Amino acid sequence: MDESVKVPTMMYQGLATGQGVGFHSYPFPRYGVGVLDSTGNPYRPDSKDEMLEKYNEEQKVACEAWNVEILLDIFPQADEFETPDYPPLWAMSKPVEFDEIGNKLDEISQSKLVACVTASESDFDATYDKMIKELEDSGMNEAEAMLTEIIQDKIAVSN
């Protein structure tokens, strides 16, 4: 291999350690590892064969015991998940009133939960009850009712 090919590879070798590129992906599986696209090329530079070459003895034994080709095969595959007919909750539009109440409830719960955790054991129940009362007074039950109605409406429309 000539030097012109090696130079870019050497430039990128330090990215994971020096720059943090890809640092937060381990140990979570990422799409494309060992998967080929419609042209037969891997999505990622680490193909299934390259992964298998890097496996240590324990990983090879685990694959054999689990009757899988690669360790990623132990995770549920995309076709095993049922896709609901309605969007996920985080993607649903909510009324401004809900967001206002939700923001207020977040502020209360964030500070009061710290108070609950740091309270003495004998003061915990009183601190917790006080937090719940403050949340209820700030519209927790109304927000719950609004969200329930939003979800029921979305599910009814999709069925």
> In 3-state terms, what secondary structure has residue 14?
coil
CA distance 138 to 101: 7
- Across 50-75, b (16+ Cβ under 10 Å) vs e yields ebeeeeeeeeeeebeeeeeeebbeee
In a domain, 3, yes or no: no
76 and 94: one domain?
no
Residue 36 pairs with which residues in a beta bridge? 42
What integer is the mean pLDDT of 102-106? Answer: 93
What type of residue sits at position 108? Answer: I
Residue 42 pairs with which residues in a beta bridge? 36
* C-alpha of 118 from chain center: 29
17-31, 42-56, 91-105: range with lowest mean pLDDT: 17-31
pTM: 0.46
45 and 99: one domain?
no
39 and 70: one domain?
yes
pLDDT digits (tens, 9 = 90+) for 107-158: 999 999 999 999 999 999 999 999 999 999 999 999 999 989 988 888 887 6
Asked if residue 27 has a cis previous peptide bond (ω within 30° of 0), the answer is: yes
CB 33 within 8 A of CB 46: yes
| Position 85 confidence tier, pLDDT thresholds 50, 70, 90 | confident
* Structural domain harbouring 58: 21-80
67 and 94: one domain?
no
pLDDT digits (tens, 9 = 90+) for 28-82: 556 666 677 788 877 776 677 888 888 999 999 999 999 999 888 898 887 888 8
Angle at 110 between CA 108 and CA 116, to 5 degrees: 95
Number of domain units in the chain: 2
Alpha helices in 38-139 (DSSP H): 48-54, 57-66, 96-118, 124-137
